[in-house]
Amino acid sequence: MIKKLFTSVFCVLAFLVIADNLKAQSIYFAEDVSSDGYPITESSVFNISRNGGYFDVLVRLPYEVNCRSVRYEIYWNGKYSTTVYQDTERNWVWFYKQITFYDHGTYDIDVYDCYDYKLVSGSVRVQYR
């Protein structure tokens, strides 16, 4: 009986440790970012003027980025558009970049670390006001 109880407790603890380590990295599109790294007015659709508009692309990781820079590869309507670079600190677990968009359509954004490892991907729709 004690052996079964010990095995059950061990399984529950192991599950909790594994679940805690499975936190996923996330990408958010937001009007702003709080001082502790959370999106303010998050959305998957943004309205811009015909002259362009910007919003923040926030990345949150369950681990330190361990790089001095990251890159955002941006695709517009399925075609490569541009790459935006950002300096980072190795111990950062979240970072964001304000990016300006000029055309309406769907943007897919892939974020890579300095080792060319894809950290996260996301899509956002941009439309004219």
Of the listed ranges 6-15, 53-62, 72-81, the least confidently predicted one is 6-15
Q: How many CB atoms lie within 10 A of CB 55?
A: 23
pLDDT band at 1 (very low <50, low <70, confident <90, very high): low
CATH number for 41: 2.60.40.10
Quote the number of domains for the chain. 1
Considering the domain boundaries, does residue 5 fall inside one? Answer: no
Domain containing residue 60:
24-128
Collect all residues with Cβ–Cβ distance below 8 Å to 61 and sequence separation of at least 6: 25, 93, 94, 119
Considering the domain boundaries, does residue 70 fall inside one? Answer: yes
Rounded to 5 degrees, φ, ψ at 25 are -75, 150
Q: pTM of the full predicted structure?
A: 0.82
Considering the domain boundaries, does residue 12 fall inside one? Answer: no
Considering the domain boundaries, does residue 4 fall inside one? Answer: no
Rounded distance between C-alpha atoms, residue 30 and residue 98, angstroms: 9
